[in-house]
């Protein structure tokens, strides 16, 4: 038998292209339109005050004794909670 050079033989286990995989749908409930509005407002207030993503995220997700909870959760719960968080932001020293 003669060997032909330059011709590749198919391997025994050819690689198949990976199929697209999708994540299962989350079981977490979606925000209501009012909650979405309050979330956008509190993020905008925090962004205007801190001006950088790191401090904004830390502020929104850290418990504060002045409002007795996490600002993001309070703002999502009610307009009163949003107002309390907005007042807390106003009381904080301005960004440098």
Q: What number of other Cβ atoms are within 10 A of residue 76's Cβ?
A: 19
CA–CA distance, 34 with 55 (Å, rounded to integer): 25
Residue 4 pLDDT > 70: no
Give the pLDDT confidence of 46-85 residue by residue, as tens digits. Answer: 999 999 999 999 999 999 999 999 999 999 999 999 999 9
Domain count, the chain: 1
If pLDDT is split at 50, 70 and 90, which confidence band does 3 have? Answer: low
pLDDT, position 95 = 59
Residue 26 inside a domain? The answer is no
Cα distance from N-terminal residue to C-terminal residue, the chain: 81
Residue 27 inside a domain? The answer is no
Residue 6 inside a domain? The answer is no
Please state, in angstroms and as integers, the Cα–Cα distance from residue 83 to each residue in 67, 71, 72, following that order: 10, 10, 12
Residue 44 inside a domain? The answer is yes
Residue 2 inside a domain? The answer is no
Residue 74 inside a domain? The answer is yes
Residue 83 inside a domain? The answer is yes
Residue 56 inside a domain? The answer is yes
The reported pTM is 0.69
Question: Residue 47: which domain range?
Answer: 33-91
């Amino acid at each position: 038998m003669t060997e032909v050079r330059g011709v590749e033989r198919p391997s025994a286990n050819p690689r198949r292209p990976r199929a697209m995989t999708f994540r299962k749908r989350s079981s977490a409930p979606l925000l209501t339109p009012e909650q979405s509005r309050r979330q956008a407002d509190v993020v905008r207030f925090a962004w205007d005050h801190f001006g950088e993503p790191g401090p904004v995220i830390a502020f929104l997700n850290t418990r504060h004794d002045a409002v007795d909870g996490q600002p993001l959760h309070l703002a999502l719960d009610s307009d009163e909670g949003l107002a309390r968080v907005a007042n807390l932001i106003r009381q904080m020293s301005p960004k440098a």
